[in-house]
Amino acid sequence: MEFLGHTQKARYMFGSGKNSNGSSALPTIARQNSTLRVQDFYPNPRYFQRSLTQIPWQQQQNACSLPQKAESTLSMNKKAMFSFGNTNLNSFKPAPVLQSPPISLYTSYTPNEWERFNQNNYFTSDYLRSGAEKLRLDTARMCKEADEKTQRTQSNSGKRLGERISDIVFWKNELLHEISDIASSTSELKNAKRIIEKTLVETENPLNLVRECLYIRAQKRGIEMVRDDPEKNLVKEVETIKICQDKLRGMIEKVTIQLSQNNAAQLELEKDSGNKVVAQNLDENAFQLRNLSTDISYQSGVEKINITTSVPKTWCMFTNNNIKQCQAERAASKHLCSEINTLLQKCCSDMWQQWNVTNQALADRIRELLTTKNKLQTHLSKVIQEIFDMNKSIEYLKKSIQAKQAPLQVAQTRLGTRLLRPNVESCCDPAYVWLVGEVGEITETVECLTKKLHHAENAVQDLHLLKSNLEVDINNKSHSLFIDREKCLSLRKTFPMTPICSIYTTTKPNIPIHS
């Protein structure tokens, strides 16, 4: 406490500074070190650490002439102030006020003790107000942090719900897309099945016609009753048609099985998609809930109920496995459609080819394949011309290979000559590198030309073989039969079915019939 008109250095503020024995009342250095130990405490704000009885520009008074009891009380209060972090405010009790006797001729306390008592009250007031202010600030900070944490947690929960809805929408769209694709694949497969069934029924017409031709050719007499090419081709045509019918029946069974698998996969996708729609509606309702919503309420213990049957990884894997299964079925359906196209094209090609071969054989037998014979002769002349050109090319290759011998010898001779360079003169200079590259390049060129020469010689041999085959085929087209021209060929002018070469298009190839 400061008095008006007096400084803190006044004598009556602190006494004489000596006790009754004449010795100083200041504590020893060892006692100060043991009393003012450094302890862990929460630092007070700067404006709480300034003493109310100390002026910044005045030197602190070190004299202490209080009795031992007042000094111990002050030391205890200072210890309590420095260890505030471990002290309970409720357990703190200020120093008791000593009551003086009602009737006394002499005062019970000295001015210094009175001042020390006031200083103790000041320290206690500072200490309690500092603790209360810290508690108030901590409470406000804790409330603010709690609000921010609650808002952040609610925002994160909403964000997670939004992400979950996005995931559900994504997988739902994927499921719907796959359902549309599998439905399209199933429709396409059903259409292919109808085409195969129709093709199988129509194959009976050419089969009956071939059997009729065989029956007519069996009426020939004498030396004409031979097993010639037309008869063999007719028998082969019957076998080809039966093989095609067996393949078509087997393909119909595969299509039936695949259709059942497609339906099962589509059913799983539709079920999963329906579940996704329900989950999306529920999550969207939960996402739209806010603090001011009217349909919110307490549901105690709901966080302890766990009826989940999957985690995000297994949830994604379940839908992904369904999609993969559907994609596998669609791929199988697509592959099966490709097989159907290939089968239809092959059956059509085989039947048409055998049909043409039989007609060609019949035309050869009746000597009326002049146009075909002319075409074969034209091809033969082209083959002969190609043989002549290939022989010229072979001669040119041989000359080119021979022309590369001299440059190769020159390059190798240069390298051999440069090998005689003595000591350090044997340097890997650009000339050496270039000569080595030249030898490699010429060697590689010669090898390539030699390979081309071998290929050309093989091609000439193939052309000679083709020329021989064409000559034999032209010679085989010199016989004819009256019954084949008047009976069989008239029946085989048109193919007795509409050939379906693809499940997408229906075409009818033109078969040249020569009369």
- Looking at per-residue pLDDT, the higher value among 36 and 110 belongs to 110
pTM confidence score: 0.50
Half-sphere exposure for 400 (CA within 13 Å, toward CB): 17
Average pLDDT in the chain: 76
Which range, 27-41, 63-77, 404-418, is most confident? Answer: 404-418
Residue 291 has pLDDT above 70, yes or no: yes
Q: Does the domain formed by 119-291+309-353 have CATH 2.40.50?
A: no
User: Which residue, 514, 488, 511, 489, is CA-closest to 498?
Assistant: 511
Predicted confidence band at 360 (pLDDT cuts at 50, 70, 90)?
confident
Please write the tens of the pLDDT for every residue from 299-349.
888 888 888 888 889 999 999 999 999 999 999 999 999 899 888 888 888
The reported pLDDT for the residue numbered 170 is 93
Burial-class residue 285 by CB neighbours within 10 Å (0-12, 13-18, 19+): exposed
User: Which residue, 326, 28, 10, 342, is CA-closest to 318?
Assistant: 326
The reported pLDDT for the residue numbered 96 is 55
**Comparing 206-215, 350-359, 416-425, 454-463, which segment has the lowest mean pLDDT?**
416-425
Architecture of domain 364-503: Up-down Bundle (1.20)
**Backbone φ, ψ for residue 85 (5° rounding):** -65, -25
Distance from C-alpha of 174 to C-alpha of 290, rounded to nearest angstrom = 31
- Find the mean pLDDT for residues 52-57: 44
Predicted confidence band at 509 (pLDDT cuts at 50, 70, 90)?
very low
The reported pLDDT for the residue numbered 309 is 85
- Looking at per-residue pLDDT, the higher value among 404 and 343 belongs to 343
Residue in the block written with tokens 């039936």: 256
Percentage of the chain beyond pLDDT 90 is 29
| Domain residue spans of the chain | 119-291+309-353, 364-503
Contact (Cβ atoms closer than 8 angstroms) between residue 483 and residue 216? yes
Contact (Cβ atoms closer than 8 angstroms) between residue 489 and residue 413? no
Distance from C-alpha of 148 to C-alpha of 83, rounded to nearest angstrom = 31
Residue 377 has pLDDT above 70, yes or no: yes
Residue 71 has pLDDT above 50, yes or no: no
Report the DSSP beta bridge partners of residue 18.
24
The reported pLDDT for the residue numbered 501 is 57
The reported pLDDT for the residue numbered 99 is 54
How many angstroms separate the first and last alpha carbons of the chain? 142
- Looking at per-residue pLDDT, the higher value among 268 and 64 belongs to 268
Distance from C-alpha of 413 to C-alpha of 411, rounded to nearest angstrom = 5
Please write the tens of the pLDDT for every residue from 448-489.
888 888 888 888 899 999 888 887 776 665 555 567 777 788
Distance from C-alpha of 312 to C-alpha of 322, rounded to nearest angstrom = 15
The reported pLDDT for the residue numbered 373 is 65
